[in-house]
Amino acid sequence: MQLQSVSLKEEEVIAVVTINHPPLNIVNHKILTELEEVLERLKTLKAKAVIITGTGKSFVAGADIKEMKDKDALSALEFSKLGQRVVNKIENLNQPVIGAINGFALGGGLELALGCDILIASENAKFGQPEVRLGIPPGWGATQRLARVVGIYKAKELILTGKIIDAQEACRIGLVSKVVKEKDLMKEAHSLATQISHNAPIAVRLAKFLINRSFETSLEDGLASESAMFGLCFSTEDQKEGMQAFVDKREPNFKGK
């Protein structure tokens, strides 16, 4: 597939995915399909961390209302499933995914962001799930994921009122990890991705898996999985290298084996 509105760039051990559909990066069926294609390509790359961002003054300002407004129930269902599938693929990438939110992250844009592992935002970023103002609930996962991030009461407030919050409020409620100046956003995202890339790839991948799985299982089962993955890592070269490097007081050289 030839990509037109989504780009993928490898920068050493970091991959950068950019949504480029000016002026506000409104997402339609075609762009979702391109994004899904890019996520599949990421599975074949050696990148140890991924950054997802948007061009200009917006991350993703939502789904294309003009495209959606005349859908019937069946086609709307399929569109919802496509959006959910794309967000699931972001969430389930082996690599940690950093969302660099450079402006509006509204509706489907916030839902795409919720698939990321860590969100950082520029000072001008805005967040919201305004779907109820359009006569629909969120359809790409916000009713399920947002409460897991900010708590059930705050999620209900945001979704049921449809209000939009700024970056500082998003940081206060735990939706984003950090707010930085607009000019520093990608520098900060790269810094974070670089820190992650220095760690043992297998350990990072398993830690991400365990954290994500913790929302879907009991504490007892989650702890059992953690112990199993902890033990498994002692069969890897990375564990031997990491601990020997600590004893030797040097930086480890992880190979992802």
Give me the active site residues, please.
111, 131
Tokens of 121: 């935002």
Using a 10 angstrom Cβ sphere, with 0-12 exposed, 13-18 middle and 19 or more buried, the burial of residue 74 is: exposed
* Strands (E) located in the chain: 6-11, 14-19, 49-54, 58-60, 97-101, 104-106, 118-122, 126-128, 164-166, 178-180
Are the CB atoms for 131 and 107 separated by under 8 Å? yes
Q: What's the order of all strands across the beta sheet hosting 97-101?
A: 6-11, 14-19, 49-54, 97-101, 118-122, 178-180
